[in-house]
Amino acid sequence: MAAGVRVPDILAKKQQGELITMLTAYDFNMARLLDASGVDMLLVGDSLGMVVLGYRNTIPVTLDDVVHHSAAVARGAERALVVADMPFGTCHCGPDDAMRAAARLVQEGGAAAVKIEGGHQIAEVVARLTDGGIPVMAHVGLRPQSVHQLGGFRRQARTRSDAELLLHDVKTLAEAGAFSVVLEAIPDDVAAEATTASPIPTIGIGAGPHCDGQVLVSYDVLGLYDRAVPKFAKQYAELGRHVTQAARQFVDEVTAREFPPPPEQPV
């Protein structure tokens, strides 16, 4: 897969029992750094709104925001498949509007696929985009764009009847043509059941170890954001601390007249 990850490679990984990895990216340079890790997919998630733009949730993120950041990520990603999030409100006015929005993400944003939050209600949109040549990653369980309806960022599918609804959603979305599905913040056993039943790869986030792949927000992984880190996220580095330390050292050295150093005196 050295030449670049394509949508069929993601499906093949599930068939071959290989685990899939995805991290979020929002800009050119971070996309280059993350791409070099060998991660399969870079998601220009609407988490952009929280970790980069400073909003309290993902709802204010616009299509223009995602197009702009996706284009930067696409310029930095040489190998990973770039997936761009369809922001709040872009696919609930019908398949034609959704197609227009998704086309911008692919055409201007350089994404190879789009991700859409929603269950069986978005099946028609998934079918329309897929027919139009735009691969769709679905997203069920905790759907941050529905934070108001869900009453907060809460775990989903905790009762048997809710779990059944989720399993039905995954089946419907796969039948509609989605090439993969994110399972966010659901019990491990429900994710395991969905993964076994689903013909398309499941990518988990806070959904336990039995999914076909895992995704995390890169700012959580790198320790760059501490405002609202979900319990299930794992921090692999503390870059935020290093950034503040380096900046503090710069401030100290400039104010102490240590940087820039005085010109060397001729001997």
Interacting residues with ligand KIV between 5 and 24 (CB under 6 A): 24
Instruction: Compute the least distance from the CB of residue 142 to ligand KIV, in Å.
Output: 9
How many binding residues for ligand KIV (CB under 6 A)?
10
Interacting residues with ligand KIV between 63 and 102 (CB under 6 A): 85
Cβ atoms of 98 and 60 within 8 Å: the answer is no
> Which residue number, 178 or 205, has a Cβ lying nearer to ligand KIV?
205
Cβ atoms of 37 and 20 within 8 Å: the answer is no
> Which residue number, 45 or 135, has a Cβ lying nearer to ligand KIV?
45
> Which residue number, 43 or 74, has a Cβ lying nearer to ligand KIV?
43
Catalytic, 184? Answer yes
Of the candidates 108, 164, 175, 184, the residue annotated as catalytic is 184
Rg (alpha carbons) of the chain, rounded to whole number:
20
User: Does the protein bind ligand KIV through residue 217 (CB under 6 A)?
Assistant: yes
> Which residue number, 85 or 169, has a Cβ lying nearer to ligand KIV?
85
Instruction: Compute the least distance from the CB of residue 246 to ligand KIV, in Å.
Output: 26
Backbone angles phi and psi of 222, in degrees to 5: -90, -5
Q: Which of 52, 67, 215, 224 binds ligand KIV (CB under 6 A)?
A: 215
String of DSSP letters for 9-38: HHHHHHHTT--EEEEE--SHHHHHHHHTTT
Kindly list the residues in this chain that would bind ligand KIV in the complex (CB under 6 A). Answer: 24, 43, 45-47, 85, 182, 205, 215, 217
Catalytic residue ranges: 184
